[in-house]
């Protein structure tokens, strides 16, 4: 007697589990994951483990050693700051030799001043993960402050140039 054939009493029997095509779970609670095979981690010994708040200050991004080495070994370029927003944490540089604007992140700026429109900068290039199709400026330093503009230091002091 096959699994598909009706049994006595006019009812059909349920096919075996391995013969049923897999279906997406209806809800997360209906999803049955395989047992976890790795060791369970012991809880952090820190007394502050549940109370840590991330810092609101931007920090330098961690790149792989190879990406940082490639950027450090690469040539240095120059350009002009097109725009930079401290509150958004990024801006764009117009290359001196022309071409498309280059993205710059707040964590990649070296020096004591926040860049403003018109500042001359020098930078190196690094590809942006995960696809490495785009580039961004790294190791950005302001070489000449734009004349007649107010510049802000990272600590908040304003300087007239």
Whether 43 is in a domain gets the answer no
Whether 48 is in a domain gets the answer no
Among 120, 126, 94, smallest CA distance to 107 is for 126
What percentage of the chain carries pLDDT values higher than 70?
58
Torsion of CA 127, 129, 130, 131, to 10 degrees: -10
Tens digits of per-residue pLDDT, 59-68? 556 666 666 6
Cα distances (angstroms) measured from residue 50 to each of 41, 42, 46, 53: 16, 14, 9, 9
Whether 36 is in a domain gets the answer no
State the total domains in the chain. Answer: 1
Whether 121 is in a domain gets the answer yes
User: 105: exposed, middle or buried (C-beta count within 10 Å: 0-12, 13-18, 19+)?
Assistant: middle
Instruction: Read off the CATH number of the domain in which 79 is found.
Output: 2.40.50.140
Tens digits of per-residue pLDDT, 7-34? 455 555 555 555 544 444 444 454 455 5
Give 102's strand partners. Answer: 93
Q: What burial letters (b/e) apply to 8-24, b meaning 16+ CB within 10 Å? A: eeeeeeeeeeeeeeeee
Domain enclosing residue 77, as ranges: 65-160
pLDDT attached to residue 70? 73
How far is Cα 154 from Cα 58, in angstroms, rounded to an integer? Answer: 11
Rg (CA), the chain: 29
Whether 99 is in a domain gets the answer yes
Q: How confident is the model at residue 114 (pLDDT cuts 50, 70, 90)?
A: very high
* Helical spans, DSSP H, in 3-143: 65-73
């Amino acid at each position: 007697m096959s699994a598909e054939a009706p049994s006595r009493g006019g009812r059909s029997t349920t096919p075996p589990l391995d013969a049923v095509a897999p279906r997406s779970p209806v809800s997360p609670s209906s999803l049955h994951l395989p047992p976890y095979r790795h060791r369970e981690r012991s809880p952090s010994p820190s007394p502050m483990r549940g109370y840590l708040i991330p810092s609101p200050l931007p920090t330098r991004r961690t790149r792989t050693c190879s990406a940082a080495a490639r950027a450090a070994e690469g040539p240095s370029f120059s350009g002009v700051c097109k725009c930079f927003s401290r509150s958004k944490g990024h801006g764009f540089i117009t290359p001196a030799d022309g071409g498309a604007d280059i993205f710059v992140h707040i964590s990649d700026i070296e020096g004591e001043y926040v860049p403003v429109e018109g500042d001359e900068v020098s930078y190196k290039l690094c590809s942006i993960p995960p696809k490495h199709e785009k580039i961004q400026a790294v190791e950005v330093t302001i070489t000449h402050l734009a004349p007649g503009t107010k510049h802000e230091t990272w600590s908040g002091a304003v300087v007239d140039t």
